[in-house]
Amino acid sequence: MKFGPEAYSLEFFRERGYLRKRCRVCGEHFWTVDPERETCGDSPCEPYRFVGKALARRKMSLREVREAFLRFFEKRGHRVISPYPVVARWRSDMFLTDASIVDFQPFVTSGIAPPPANPLVISQPCIRLVDIDKVGLTFGRHLTIFEMGGAHAFNYPEKEVYWKDETVKYYHEFAQEIFGIPEGELVYKEGVWSGGGNAGPCFESISYGMELATLVFMQYKTLNGELIELPIRTVDTGYGIERFTWFSQGTPSCFDAIYGELYPKVAKIIEIPKPDEKLLLKYSPYTALVVPGKGVTVAEARRRVAEASGIPLEVIINEVEPLERIYAALDFTKSISFIISEGVVPSNVRVGYLARLLIRKTYRLLRSMGHEDKLLDLIDLQLDHWSSDFPHLREMREEVLDIVETEIKKFEETIQKGSDYVEKELSSMKKGEVRIPVEFLIRVYDERGITPDIVEPIASKLDMEIEVPENFYELVASRHLRAETGPVEDGEKKILEEVFREVPATEKAYYEQPFVSKFRAKVLKTYGNYLVLDRTHFYPEGGGAVADRGVIKNSKGSSKVVNVQMLAGGVIVHKLEGELPEVGEVVEAEIDFERRLSLMRHHTATHIILGAARKVLGRHAWQAGASKEPEIARLDISHHRRLTYEEIKQIEDEANRIVAARIPVKITLMSRNEAEARYGFQLYQGGEVPSAEIRVVEIPGWDAEACAGLHVENTEDVGIIKIIKTERIQDGVERLIFAAGPAVLPYLQEDWRLVRRIAEIIGTPVEAVERKVEEILDEVKELRREVKSLLSSAAKLRAVELSQKPTITAGGIEFYVSRENEDDREYVLKISDHLLSRPVAACFIAAYGRERVSLVATANSEALKKGVHAGKLISMIAQRLGGRGGGRDRFGEGGLGKPISEDEFIKESLNIIRELFK
């Protein structure tokens, strides 16, 4: 993608005497007033020239730079807009807000909805993980979290706000008035920007070796590699708030400028290396060279910096590298604080995956420094420090720390379990001749959360080659930054949309009169067993709710409505069983209203339960999915641990309290901007709403969501709410299955039937069932202890019996092969313990169980010295018998999943032993 010179030629440049030149280093074009300038000025085309110098009018903190930026544009007619969340819940195509323009894509930039102001200015916290492995190395050129100062203007065909010349003029004035940058140091490098489906030419604004802002002129939509001109031309500027702060202070690193006032508190948690400042000032100007990738390793990049700066490489490694790790830890913990504070629960999917990646990378980073136990302390410090600017951090403190602590425990368990899994997987590859592929490292991270540093020592132990990409976390993050493409639309629906393409949108009468069950309507078109009416009270499937059902009566008889779907363009199709009426005929329709009412109860109950979950569990409990059917409903919520009985009871109690409170359910259609301003972004519990107007369903004081579903008029109409059960459908997501109103009755009746049946079986009154069951369980526990003692004695006797004579002796090893009928693993292992305790090379192989046979093989140290590998042995036996198995050198297990005779098991086991130990 490239734009011609005309896209960058401005009247402003001509007036100021700017010249268009080509950089002798990178080859890109730039604009400057200095006829002698030969480079674009961006690092690494030239080193930073502001480090260690007082070039700005005065030193400014991050807060002061943010305030100066907002006030500058406010004075020039821009309305100041509050920052959006860093989790882009208003969008379905991406998870994190990585630029200020993301706040307004695609709805404002495409013309679907108006902007909240025009022009506007915002200082937007952004999170970008595409450069996560470079953080620290470049001293602040790369960050995962930063504030982007966005001054935006949206130019419509009928209303021009301002465009290129004014945009550059504003930046010019800002740089000179606020920071005192002379015009000779204001260089504008030509570039191309694309993101979020939009693109346009841009200027990178560079001074003293650093890009301080990007001025984008968004005027195209990108579709299949083509540029389609947009009716709305958007000014999209990104001022680097942290970079301007760094420039104003001239500190060795950007981290010194951002976190300098935090250093004393950080030093009380972890030791901060203190290299000589002169060394850092000498090193810093060349840090843009420390960028791995494109065939350049970190080691090679460091050598380049050493050569350019004149600092010995060993000094850089010993003095600078430890400080880079501190920088990265500060950046990562700030990112974690912001993401988790917006209700993200670490998981293996969507934004939860990115949160987990950040936490685990930070944990391993701190572990390399010997400070993994300080992760929570650093996050707590970040929450406290930034909460004066972002109050929600303080409000969410307890939840953030609890969620991160739970994630740390999960990761520690993963580390313990992961080693065995990795060794087993690597052992299945051809030992000594295989170079472990990067895809394997990514797969075990994605599936098991096992980081490369866990894999490396295991690979070394197995004499396998491994090379971990230095940008490993960037690779895995890049695969999860955007939502996966949705499932391909079914062929039938695509055909229907084509067939009914010319039909006008259906009047949605179910919104105005949700309690009407009978109506008359005109048939506009039919196709197969589908028809479209001019208006309908049948609610189509959508928002997790199934469609209405009922009947349509016409001149040919009566037909069942078995499905209702919404097509593109607002056309609603009804699927019928029976004769279809003629086009133009006026038909009589009747909805199955009891079924409709049950769906309405369940839909409102979903909103009530979500509010209850957020009150009981915390604001991190976001909706992760929902389904409403007449008989039962479910709500999936994000939560970092299994729900306890007490929590379930509290959620149920709170939900029923809201039902009993008789709160009217308010449904209001309002503009997108008004809805977001009034209710915040918790509106989007159900996901993206691609429209200028939002239908808000509100239970005042309890819950407000953008929702297209049908609801009862008052919470009391829901009736009793009963949570039937809960499930852990995936890590980080709990499912609540519930019923409301009359739909609860069958579940209560079934529970009562079961209690009475149990009372009958154990021969006790219903009111004494609990006590009686506890007595029975105590008796069972005692019997199990007795059986265990008997089995232990039996195992010892069995071992003595087997030890009389090995089944076979091969390769100097005594092999004992046995088919045990007792289906008890502990019994078999006790036999093994007795057999292998003698000072001879011995191996025990057993099959146990009747229907589904399990296998086990064990070997003592003497047998290992003679070449026995129990895991491989049991794998071969299991495969020969149609099963699977494996394990480590001392211990292997497997299974057949079918019965096997003693003779067959011993025969095949002996055959394999003879093959291996001839």
How many separate helices (H) and strands (E) can be counted in the chain? 28, 30
Q: What is the mean pLDDT of residues 622-632?
A: 92
* Residue 170 three-state SS: helix
Residue 575: strand pairing partners: 530, 563
Instruction: Using pLDDT thresholds of 50, 70 and 90, give the confidence band for residue 348.
Output: confident
Contact 718, 712 (CB under 8 A): yes
pLDDT tens across 527-565, in order?
999 999 999 999 999 878 999 999 999 988 899 999 999
Q: What is the mean pLDDT of residues 578-599?
A: 94
Q: Which amino acid, one-letter code, is at 767? A: E
- The CA-atom distances, in angstroms, between 163 and each of 32, 173, 234, 751 are 20, 16, 8, 69
Instruction: Using pLDDT thresholds of 50, 70 and 90, give the confidence band for residue 33.
Output: very high
Q: Give every CB contact of residue 874 below 8 A, 6+ residues apart in sequence.
A: 845, 855, 856, 857, 885, 886, 887, 892, 893, 894
**Which pLDDT belongs to residue 589?**
95
**Which pLDDT belongs to residue 487?**
45
pLDDT value at 432 more than 60? no
pLDDT tens across 180-237, in order?
999 999 999 999 988 777 889 999 999 999 999 999 999 988 877 788 888 899 999 9
| Sheet arrangement for strand 693-699 | 666-671, 693-699, 703-706
Q: Which amino acid, one-letter code, is at 54? A: A
Using CB atoms within 10 A of its CB, is residue 261 exposed (0-12), middle (13-18) or buried (19+)? exposed
Give dist(CA 712, CA 694) in Å, integer.
Answer: 19
pLDDT value at 430 more than 70? no
To the question of pTM greater than 0.85 for the whole model, the response is no
- Distance, C-alpha 418 to centroid of its chain: 21
Q: Give every CB contact of residue 814 below 8 A, 6+ residues apart in sequence.
A: 806, 840, 841, 842, 843
Give dist(CA 458, CA 465) in Å, integer.
Answer: 11
Least confident of 154-158, 247-251, 458-462, 597-601: 458-462
pLDDT value at 71 more than 90? yes
* Residue 22 three-state SS: strand
| Structure tokens belonging to residue 342 | 């917006």
Give dist(CA 288, CA 827) in Å, integer.
Answer: 64
Instruction: Using pLDDT thresholds of 50, 70 and 90, give the confidence band for residue 783.
Output: very high
Residue 21: strand pairing partners: 30
| Sheet arrangement for strand 813-820 | 808-810, 813-820, 842-848, 854-859, 891-895, 884-887
pLDDT value at 484 more than 60? no
Give dist(CA 181, CA 171) in Å, integer.
Answer: 11
Give dist(CA 568, CA 268) in Å, integer.
Answer: 60
DSSP structural state of residue 317: I
Contact 527, 574 (CB under 8 A): no
Dihedral sign from CA coordinates of 84, 64, 176, 74: positive
pLDDT tens across 370-402, in order?
999 999 999 999 999 999 999 999 999 999 999
Across the chain, what does the average pLDDT equal?
A: 90
* Residue 520 three-state SS: strand
Give dist(CA 363, CA 356) in Å, integer.
Answer: 10
**Which pLDDT belongs to residue 490?**
62
Give dist(CA 101, CA 122) in Å, integer.
Answer: 10
Q: Which residue has the tokens 């005692």?
A: 782
Residue by residue, DSSP assigns 638-691 as: E-SSPPPHHHHHHHHHHHHHHHHTTPBPEEEEEEHHHHHHHHGGGGGGG----S
pLDDT tens across 2-14, in order?
888 999 999 999 9
Give dist(CA 10, CA 234) in Å, integer.
Answer: 17
Contact 273, 256 (CB under 8 A): no
Q: How many CA atoms lie within 13 A of 904 on its CB side?
A: 10
Contact 819, 906 (CB under 8 A): yes
| Structure tokens belonging to residue 60 | 């400014």
Give dist(CA 901, CA 558) in Å, integer.
Answer: 64
pLDDT value at 695 more than 70? yes
pLDDT value at 488 more than 50? no
Instruction: Count CB atoms within 10 A of the CB of residue 781.
Output: 9
Dihedral sign from CA coordinates of 167, 168, 173, 178: positive
